[in-house]
Amino acid sequence: MFAKPVTEIYPDPPVGLDPLALDEARIPKHVAVIMDGNGRWAKKRALNRLRGHRAGIDAVRETIRAASDSGVRYLTIYSFSTENWKRPDDEVEGLMELFAKTMLAEVDGLHEEHVRVRTIGDMSRLPKDAREAFEEAWEKTRGNDGMTLIVAVNYGSRQEILHAVQGIVDEAVASGEAPVVDGDLFERNLYTAGVPDPELLIRTSGELRVSNFLLWQLAYTEFYCTDVLWPDFNRYEFLRALLSYQSRDRRFGGV
């Protein structure tokens, strides 16, 4: 359900983009986003990569508001993968500092909008400041009943799957009984336990790969890929993704 009239959510659309075409009854419950292109955005402007990451914060803020106002219940953003540790040390250190500062700066506003903030991934490797900022955001917003913002940080889907398998094994060893492993048991051991699978995945900057993101959960997700670099992504690009999703016939393997 829209939080306000759709013309207020999308007040100044580009020519040819009609917010009134958005069907309130067919908004995806869960949208996942691979935010790509910060580095290329910075390079085009002869700036260092961290400037691109900082510019991407505005796109995150805009997307959160548009998703929440449009009735999306879960928004998962891929902020840092397990493979991203391979980047130069100064970029990784800058990103971790940016995570901490941004989360602390934004949490009050998210709380006021009733957004609940949680993370998925292995938080143990994060610096103390970043880890504590995410923990503080969770503690402050955990009781909210609005959209859930899921930040995937130090996240890798293969690692998540191995973590789930290990959890099932540990439980079997502790109980002394071999469990019947089915989809429900497996999903209860994923980082995303209790969260519905994404209906829509958005990837920016023209890339067409999954990048070790939600491999189990994306089994029947609709993909929307755009050439727009992440810092240039705004609520109207989000609207384009929603309209594209609503134009599709989802048959889940049926006729």
Catalytic residues: 36, 84
Establish how many alpha carbons lie within 13 A of residue 55's alpha carbon, considering only the half-sphere containing its beta carbon.
20
Alpha carbon 66 to its chain's center: 14
Residues contacting 159, CB < 8 A, separation 6+? 82, 122
